[in-house]
Amino acid sequence: MPFEPLVTGIIETTLNRLIIDAPEHQHQVARLKGKVIKVHLQELDRQLIFVFSHQVDVLSSYEAEPDCYLSLKLSVLSELKDQSNITRLIKQDKLVLEGDIQLAQKFSQLMTDIKPDPEEWLSRVTGDVVAHTVVQSAKNQAEWFKQGLQNQQRKLGTVLTQEWQVAPNALEVAYFCDQIDELASSLSRMEQRLDRLVAKL
């Protein structure tokens, strides 16, 4: 099976499952009915086409002209909800937008709002108590791993700056910056004196 149809199939199935589970998402999809939005993902240099009817169809290619074309990074998508961000993103070359701006905002709102609830899905198979326990345990493990990673980063920083002394610590960096500022001030004063001497001569 080709890779792109597999990816679009997974995205489509997941989106439609999440939409079915939440009436507010169904209402958002209804507002987009009949519209086609083409999204170019800059990180992957791939495009996804979202065709809205009573559900969402996700395609990798589409011959006709879409109602809205977006070229962006995924991290930018949530910022489209606020129209005041759009001009800034375009100026910063983080967004290419062609077509209906309001359609882009509605799409952004839908994609930002749709979030999977693993506890809800798991409870259908295992029951509420087991699902809650499993998900909470997974969250605790993730938090423990995150804290462990942060501790390791701090230890590495201490080793590099204090034991091996291959990198300056924060105080040394601040002192160095102060010295640079002081040197710049001294040079500026010397330049002014030279200018005055030249003017007298």
* DSSP 8-state class, residue 76: G
Residue 42 corresponds to which amino acid? Q
Per-residue pLDDT tens for 118-169? 556 556 666 666 656 765 776 777 677 778 777 777 777 776 666 666 667 6
Q: Is pLDDT of 36 > 90? A: yes
Per-residue pLDDT tens for 134-143? 657 767 776 7
What homologous superfamily is domain 3-116 in, according to CATH? Answer: SCP2 sterol-binding domain (3.30.1050.10)
Per-residue pLDDT tens for 76-98? 877 877 777 888 888 888 889 99
pLDDT the model gives residue 118: 58
Q: Is pLDDT of 3 > 60? A: no
Residue 83 corresponds to which amino acid? Q
Q: Delimit the CATH 3.30.1050.10 region(s) of the chain.
A: 3-116
Main-chain dihedrals φ then ψ at residue 35, nearest 5 degrees = -100, 155
CA nearest to 114, candidates 7, 50, 28: 28
* C-alpha span between 169 and 186 (Å, rounded): 26
CA nearest to 15, candidates 97, 101, 113, 91: 113
Place of tokens 């998900």: 135
Which two three-digit tokens encode residue 37? Answer: 């939005």
Give the pTM.
0.57
Per-residue pLDDT tens for 38-61? 999 888 888 999 999 989 999 988
